[in-house]
Amino acid sequence: MNLTRDRMHTIGWGMALSMCFGVTMVLTFCVNAVKQQVRLADRQIVQLQRETTFLETEFEARASHERLQAYNATELGYEAPLAAQFIGDERQLAAVDMPRHEGGPTPIRVAAVDLSAGEARALPAMVSPLTGKVLGGDDDQGGGHADSTTRHKPLKPGDLGARLSRTADQSHGIAGRGTRE
């Protein structure tokens, strides 16, 4: 094999370039591996900082809780409530209620409707504010009443005043109940 000098020179340069390319690729892989290790170390640092912050907060909260508990026990005499001290429903709450003291405020009274007369109570007839006609009639599309066969007369202002001015003695509703005297 008879190789000329120029041909050997070209082959030498090609080998040198190939070696440089191979070394460059190896260095690139090494640099990427080191970068990955740095990223992993950064993530671990951030995770450890979060864990440290969490533990510091937990430690401060427990120390504060212990200080508060010691202060409550020595200075104020407070204790944690027991399960028997909680109120389960309204009846237990009513059993805790104390009678009214002399000169104390009067209890709140609730208005009620007298249903002892046996009359069925339904909603009064609805009147259109635009036309002034009673809604829920045959020419209406079904609005106004729950039961379209029942007709009620509209309330008059005097009726409402008379019903509201009744006392607990006259009505057998809720107004007279619950007051302790």
Three-state SS string over 17-68 comes to HHHHHHHHHHHHHHHHHHHHHHHHHHHHHHHHHHHHHHHHHHHHHHHHHHHH
pLDDT at 44 over 80: yes
Highest-confidence range of 8-17, 58-67, 82-91, 134-143, by mean pLDDT? 8-17
Per-residue pLDDT reduced to its tens digit, 151-161: 556 656 666 66
Highest-confidence range of 85-99, 111-125, 135-149, 155-169, by mean pLDDT? 85-99
Q: Which residues pair with 134 in a beta bridge?
A: 127
pLDDT band at 67; cut points 50, 70, 90:
confident
Out of 82-86, 107-111, 116-120, pick the least confident: 116-120
pLDDT band at 108; cut points 50, 70, 90:
confident
Q: Are 40 and 32 in contact (CB under 8 A)?
A: no
pLDDT band at 77; cut points 50, 70, 90:
confident
Which percentage of the chain shows pLDDT scores above 70?
66
Single out the residue of 86, 129, 126, 112 nearest to residue 179, CA to CA: 112
CA distance 89 to 5: 107
- pLDDT reported for residue 158: 64
Give the pLDDT mean for 122-145: 64
Q: Whose structure tokens read 């440089």?
A: 20
Calculate the dihedral angle through the C-alpha atoms of 45, 50, 51, 52, rounding to the nearest 10 degrees.
90
pLDDT band at 142; cut points 50, 70, 90:
very low
Q: What is the mean pLDDT of the chain?
A: 76
Residue partners of 139: CB distance under 8 A and separation at least 6: none
Q: pTM for the whole thing?
A: 0.33
Single out the residue of 132, 162, 135 nearest to residue 146, CA to CA: 135
pLDDT band at 28; cut points 50, 70, 90:
very high
